[in-house]
Amino acid sequence: MFQAFRRWRRRRIIERAALDPALWQATLAQLPFLAGLSAEDDERLRQTVILFLHTKSIHGAAGLEIEPAMQLLIAAQACILILNLDIDYYAGWVEVIVYPDEFVPKAEYVDEDGVVHTDLAPRAGEAWLQGPVILSWADVAPRADGDGVNVVIHEFAHKLDMLNGDANGFPPLHAGMSRRDWTAAFESAYADFCRRVDADEETAIDPYAAESPAEFFAVMSEAFFEMPATVRADYRVVYDQLARFYQQDPLQRRSAQVQ
Ligand SMILES: [Zn+2]
């Protein structure tokens, strides 16, 4: 009964939404990593974006005006993660706050000696447990294809990770997935990646991934969508786990497009 009501309500939201088809196409054209979506995937992404925009409030900070095209660009990137999951993966919070550029969070932390420090490092994005996602517009705007850096995917991957508590690189897995396989894949890849970064090796994947298991999951998610061939070549087991978690195969999508 509840399921049926929810489906009906969603259908009504989608039918009533006025999403300009030209604006939608222009949005997709700016995101080369979304090239190769089948017609069904494209339609499902569009519907997910409508539900996302219906349930989230995207607003500017520090004087930034948010245009419809900006909302769509953020929503399309956020929704590719849940293309084959459900809009409820982003339930329980509402706000997306967008600064014009990198922002300095008022974050304080206490070290082992009890000294309070203020972290003044500028950030491109932040995701709060049960709270907002904060983004820098300068970093949301699309970059050259395939550099593997995508702040929207990064922060929304943290949101998925936080569905079962603090971000730790272990989101809630689907039925049929193995906690042991996930942990084995990510632990060995993380150890190898940290070794490479410590050895000053040039890595195609953003070295920020070495920061913590939570950052490793978020950065690998960015790379999974933006440069799937690299992730699969370097860390096949991680690619396979991410493909099961996100229930999609960006590499196959890309190769289907090339043929
Ligand atoms: Zn992060």
Section 69-97 average pLDDT: 96
In the reported structure, the alpha carbon of residue 129 is separated from the centroid of ligand 1 by a whole-number distance in angstroms of 12
The rounded distance, in Å, linking the Cα atoms of 103 and 63 is: 13
pLDDT score for 65: 97
pLDDT score for 146: 60
Question: Does residue 258 have a pLDDT over 60?
Answer: no
pLDDT score for 147: 75
Question: Does residue 143 have a pLDDT over 80?
Answer: no
pLDDT score for 114: 73
In the reported structure, the alpha carbon of residue 156 is separated from the centroid of ligand 1 by a whole-number distance in angstroms of 9
Query: What is the overall mean pLDDT for the chain?
Result: 91
In the reported structure, the alpha carbon of residue 65 is separated from the centroid of ligand 1 by a whole-number distance in angstroms of 25
In the reported structure, the alpha carbon of residue 122 is separated from the centroid of ligand 1 by a whole-number distance in angstroms of 13
- % of the chain surpassing 70 pLDDT: 93
The rounded distance, in Å, linking the Cα atoms of 171 and 126 is: 17
Confidence label for 228 from pLDDT (cuts 50, 70 and 90): very high
Q: How far is CA 170 from the centre of its chain?
A: 15
In the reported structure, the alpha carbon of residue 134 is separated from the centroid of ligand 1 by a whole-number distance in angstroms of 11
Copy the structure tokens of residue 173: 């897995």
In the reported structure, the alpha carbon of residue 33 is separated from the centroid of ligand 1 by a whole-number distance in angstroms of 20
Confidence label for 107 from pLDDT (cuts 50, 70 and 90): low
At residue 83, the 3 state secondary structure works out as coil
pLDDT score for 148: 79
The rounded distance, in Å, linking the Cα atoms of 6 and 90 is: 16
The rounded distance, in Å, linking the Cα atoms of 205 and 57 is: 31
pTM: 0.92
What are the pLDDT digits (tens) for 96-105?
999 998 888 7
In the reported structure, the alpha carbon of residue 182 is separated from the centroid of ligand 1 by a whole-number distance in angstroms of 19
Section 45-67 average pLDDT: 96
Phi-psi group of 148: left, alpha or beta (phi > 0 → left; psi -120 to 50 → alpha; rest → beta): left
In the reported structure, the alpha carbon of residue 9 is separated from the centroid of ligand 1 by a whole-number distance in angstroms of 34
Q: How far is CA 254 from the centre of its chain?
A: 18
At residue 236, the 3 state secondary structure works out as helix
Question: Does residue 127 have a pLDDT over 80?
Answer: yes
Copy the structure tokens of residue 243: 């493909």
In the reported structure, the alpha carbon of residue 212 is separated from the centroid of ligand 1 by a whole-number distance in angstroms of 9
In the reported structure, the alpha carbon of residue 107 is separated from the centroid of ligand 1 by a whole-number distance in angstroms of 14
Q: Are strands 107-110 and 116-119 parallel, antiparallel or unpaired?
A: antiparallel
At residue 245, the 3 state secondary structure works out as helix
> Which residue is associated with the tokens 């730790």?
168
Question: Does residue 243 have a pLDDT over 90?
Answer: yes
pLDDT score for 159: 96
In the reported structure, the alpha carbon of residue 135 is separated from the centroid of ligand 1 by a whole-number distance in angstroms of 11
pLDDT score for 144: 59
Confidence label for 117 from pLDDT (cuts 50, 70 and 90): low
